[in-house]
Amino acid sequence: MSRKISLGVRRASSLLSTAASFVVPSAALAAPDLTALSSGTYFSLGLVTSALFCGGMGYVMHLRAVAEARCSDAENQLKAFNQHTIVSVTDRNARITEVNERFLETFGYSRDEVIGQQANAFYPDKEQHQFKLIRQAMNDGIPWTGELQLRAKSGRPIWTQTTVFPVYSDAGEHVSSISTRTDITAVKQMQSEQDMRAALHMLRDQVYVFDAETLHYTYMNKAAMDRSGWGDDYKDKTPADSVAEFDRSRFFERAKPLIKGRLPQLTYVIETDGTSFEINLQHIINVDGRAQFVAFANDISKRLAQEKAKDEFVSTVSHELRSPLTSIKGGLGLVLSGATGELSDKSRSLLEIAHRNSDRLVLIINDILDLQKFSSGQNQLNLAKTDLSVLIKDAAAANEAYCTQYQVGIRLVGTDEPHVVECDADKIFQILNNLMSNAAKFSIPGDDIVVSLATDGPDTLIAVRDYGVGIPAEAQATIFDRFTQVSGQDRKSKGGTGLGLNIVKVIAERHGGKVTLESAEGAGSTFVVRLPSRHSAQGRVQDAEILDAAQ
Amino acid sequence: MADQLTVLHVDDDDDIREITLLALEAVGGMTVVQASSGAAALVSVENLQPDVLLLDVMMPEMSGVELLSQLRNIPKLQETPCIFMTARVQANEISGLKEHGAVDVIEKPFDPMTLADRIRAIITA
């Protein structure tokens, strides 16, 4: 039994403006991988689609003539076609009705798994829009051609060059669509590798790849070649030819954690020819099992100079602000002390305001300097074993006078026993100082603030609690930001800088920890600083030592 | 060392000199000889045996560090304790100053009411 269908377009199309009619056996439709022509009267679907794929109806007619004349040649062409082209047929509702063997091989499905599926089941999400375009083209009677990424059963992406034709009955009814695809995944991958290599080549950083034993260069990008002046002629060179100060044994000592797989990468700075380079070194094993080093060299001379200039600027600004403040604060202090004679109550009140605000300016300058040092990496942690119980007692003693000023007492909890952790004592003291002075400021006179020390699993918790006004929920999200206070009124009346909690946050994070807040309006606030365990702090020290040794 | 300490104070800032004078003499009960520059200080010490050198660091023409170096060449001042005053308060800046032979560094702004006590505490430590 056979039925007559037409392939092509309902409306004008340059490729198939004269739609040709074929008689296609239903048996052939059911077996599109047919590799033998039945009699020369009929064409298999594979041959038809092959012909279409190869160049349109003229070529189909030509093939038919050739097939009629030379069956064996056509058989060979058909075999070749089925080996190289992925073919599928869908019904008018885009459900798959036929596929060839190549389809099944490429996508890794059995025929049963495929037949009846919607065609877009093989499209990844990002290509679903293409499916819509193809459906639209089929409805409009226009063949669709383009690159399409599909997905194999394993999830592997399959790049295809795809052509889809609508098929019509004599009555002009869209009955099915035929898709022919060529697998271009390998080409795409090669293109992607070439693109990556081209990008690497044009990277501004210098890239060196060298053998992990002989240290002979196997690759240099353009920036590296330009610096060396060797052009492509670098294969017999080693890092010792690039850097006069290169010491082979020291290099291997430095790279030991990489070779042993203890670190994924090393970053260190070298100076050569008056230029500072930040080196990022990695140790990789090629697919052929050969070990190589990959070094990215970034010229950081400008950056270092800029950082130095910035530090100098901040230091100078600080100096220029502090000098006049010395006179302002000093003068006010002396007048207020009575060293220059008695003051009226009104004068004293006004001078106290001025004096208090000059104190605040000094604090702001100090805090800005601290934060600048942290951001520039100057303020490195000086880690040492520290008894937090003692440190908290010291901080409480240092804040006693301040708390008395606000008529607030200090209660310590959990500080009877030594509690030793690896931390920067000065910085943790700064945290305690900031949190305790805040707690005192926002407490109700007569209340205590509670400083407690506890452990939570491997971590250490330092909590500073007050029973004061609390912090409204809407202000809690930004309370650790710079220059943030609950309200301008608080800042005026309490004299804070708006930087203290940000400094607490930065210091806690530098220790690998964090600070959190629990507060409710009218119920006081608890700031909890979580510090990593002694063990992890030591681990960090070890890492730092490895890096230091590497540098 | 006499009961009433004599301080050689050198600072190019007129206002800070005035504040320091009040803080050390009126509040602290010290004798203060002041100079506005390194050159002026070198002249002042010709007829002076100060107990303490209190030197500003950032001064034009001759810095406090350079001045101290020259003062140390004068035999009678080789052992006189020196305290720097500075508004450059970063840790590396302060430790650098101590390496130049200062017994301590007082940061600006200072508290005029306790300045004299601090100086006494430093030189008797």
Strands B31-35 and B6-10: parallel
| Pick from A84-93, A474-483, B72-81: least confident | A474-483
Contact indicator for B91, A426 with CB cutoff of 8 Å: no
Which tokens go with A491?
């800042």
Helix axes A301-337, B14-21, angle to 10 degrees: 40
Q: A312 to chain B, minimum CA–CA distance in Å?
A: 10
Neighbour tally for A394: CB within 10 Å:
13
pLDDT in tens, A58-79: 444 555 555 555 556 667 776 7
A381 CB neighbours in chain B (<8 A) are: none
pTM for the model stands at: 0.49
Give the model's pLDDT for residue A473.
84
Helix (H, G, I), strand (E, B) or coil at A381: coil
> A69-103 b/e with 16+ CB inside 10 Å = b?
eeeeebeebbeebbeebbbbbbbeebebbbbbbbb
From CA A528, how far away is CA A546, in angstroms rounded?
Answer: 31
Closest chain A residue by Cα to residue B11 = A323
Helix (H, G, I), strand (E, B) or coil at B29: coil
B108 CB neighbours in chain A (<8 A) are: 322-323, 325-326
Q: Do A323 and B16 touch (CB under 8 A)?
A: yes
pLDDT in tens, A245-298: 899 999 999 999 899 888 888 888 898 888 899 999 999 887 667 899 999 999
Establish, for the pair of chains A and B, how many residue pairs have beta carbons separated by less than 8 Å.
76
Which tokens go with B110?
């200072």
pLDDT beyond 50 at A192: yes
Which residues contact residue B31 at a Cβ distance below 8 angstroms, ignoring those fewer than 6 apart? B4, B5, B6, B7, B25
Interface of B with A (CB under 8 A): 13, 15-16, 18-20, 22-23, 26-27, 58, 86-90, 92-93, 107-113
Which tokens go with A382?
């000086």
Could you give the dihedral angle defined by the CA atoms of residues A448, A454, A456 and A461, in that order, rounded to the nearest 10 degrees? 60
From CA A474, how far away is CA A187, in angstroms rounded?
Answer: 56
Helix (H, G, I), strand (E, B) or coil at A217: strand
pLDDT in tens, A402-443: 899 899 999 999 999 999 999 989 889 989 999 999 999 889
The interface pTM score, or ipTM, of the predicted complex is: 0.80
Give the model's pLDDT for residue A31.
38
Q: Give all strands of the β-sheet with A206-211 in edge-to-edge order.
A: A217-220, A206-211, A291-299, A275-285, A266-272
Q: What percent of chain A has pLDDT over 70?
A: 79
pLDDT in tens, A150-171: 999 988 889 999 999 999 888 8
Residue A176 region, left (φ>0) first, then alpha (ψ -120 to 50), else beta? beta
Give the model's pLDDT for residue A47.
42
From CA A248, how far away is CA A254, in angstroms rounded?
Answer: 10
Q: Do A319 and B87 touch (CB under 8 A)?
A: yes
Q: What domains does chain A contain, in order, with CATH numbers?
A: 2-81 (no CATH), 85-183 (3.30.450.20), 188-299 (3.30.450.20), 304-376 (1.10.287), 384-550 (3.30.565.10)
Which of the 8 DSSP states describes residue B22?
I
Q: What domains does chain B contain, in order, with CATH numbers?
A: 6-124 (3.40.50.2300)
Dihedral sign for Cα A212, A215, A218, A221, please. Answer: positive
Dihedral sign for Cα A381, A384, A388, A389, please. Answer: negative
User: Contacts for B32-36 with beta carbons within 8 Å, 24 or more apart?
Assistant: B32/B6, B32/B7, B33/B6, B33/B7, B33/B8, B33/B9, B34/B8, B34/B9, B34/B10, B35/B8, B35/B9, B35/B10, B36/B10, B36/B11, B36/B12
Helix (H, G, I), strand (E, B) or coil at A143: coil
- Residue among B87, B92, B112 minimizing CB distance to A334: B112
Which tokens go with A299?
């010229």
Give the model's pLDDT for residue A539.
35
Q: Tokens 């060298």 belong to which residue?
A: A210
φ, ψ (nearest 5 deg) of residue A380: -75, 150
Helix (H, G, I), strand (E, B) or coil at A200: helix
Closest chain A residue by Cα to residue B13 = A323
Read off the pLDDT of each residue in A465-476 and give the average, rounded to a whole number: 88
pLDDT beyond 50 at B63: yes
Q: Which of B12, B108, B110 to mutate to test the interface with A (most CBs of A within 10 A)?
A: B108
From residue A70, how far is each of A45, A46, A62 by CA, in Å?
A: 18, 17, 12
B18 CB neighbours in chain A (<8 A) are: 327
Q: B123 to chain A, minimum CA–CA distance in Å?
A: 22
Dihedral sign for Cα A411, A414, A415, A416, please. Answer: positive
Cross-strand bridge partners of residue A386:
A421
Q: Do B113 and A329 touch (CB under 8 A)?
A: no
Question: Residue ranges of the alpha helices (H) in chain B?
Answer: 14-21, 38-44, 64-71, 91-99, 115-124
Q: B85 to chain A, minimum CA–CA distance in Å?
A: 11
Q: Do A327 and B110 touch (CB under 8 A)?
A: no
From the DSSP assignment, how many helices (H) and strands (E) are in chain B?
5, 5
Which tokens go with A336?
């207020």
- DSSP letters spanning A252-317: HHHHHHHHTTS-S-EEEEEEETTEEEEEEEEEEE-TTS-EEEEEEEEE-HHHHHHHHHHHHHHHHH
Give the model's pLDDT for residue A69.
54
Interface of A with B (CB under 8 A): 315, 318-331, 333-334, 337, 339-340, 358, 362, 366, 369, 373, 378
Candidates A97, A85, A58, A82; CA nearest to A175 is A97
Three-state SS sequence of A442-508 = CCCCCCEEEEEEEEECCEEEEEEEECCCCCCHHHHCCCCCCCCCCCHHHHHHHCCCCCHHHHHHHHH
B20 CB neighbours in chain A (<8 A) are: 330
Q: Do A334 and B89 touch (CB under 8 A)?
A: no
Helix (H, G, I), strand (E, B) or coil at B107: strand
Contact indicator for A42, A29 with CB cutoff of 8 Å: no
- Residue among B93, B107, B109 minimizing CB distance to A330: B109
Which tokens go with A223?
């920036």
From the DSSP assignment, how many helices (H) and strands (E) are in chain A?
19, 19
Question: Which helix or strand (DSSP H or E) is residue A534 part of?
Answer: helix A534-550
Helix (H, G, I), strand (E, B) or coil at A535: helix
Q: Do B27 and A318 touch (CB under 8 A)?
A: no
Which residues contact residue A387 at a Cβ distance below 8 angstroms, ignoring those fewer than 6 apart? A418, A419, A420
**What's the maximum distance between 2 C-alpha atoms anywhere in chain A?**
127
Contact indicator for A300, A315 with CB cutoff of 8 Å: no
A362 CB neighbours in chain B (<8 A) are: 109
pLDDT in tens, A512-534: 899 999 998 888 999 999 998 75
- Residue among A322, A358, A373 minimizing CB distance to B108: A322
pLDDT in tens, B42-61: 999 999 999 999 999 989 88
Strands A459-466 and A525-531: antiparallel
Q: Which of B9, B89, B94, B110 to mutate to test the interface with A (most CBs of A within 10 A)?
A: B89
| Pick from A17-31, A165-179, A197-211: least confident | A17-31
Closest chain B residue by Cα to residue A336 = B113
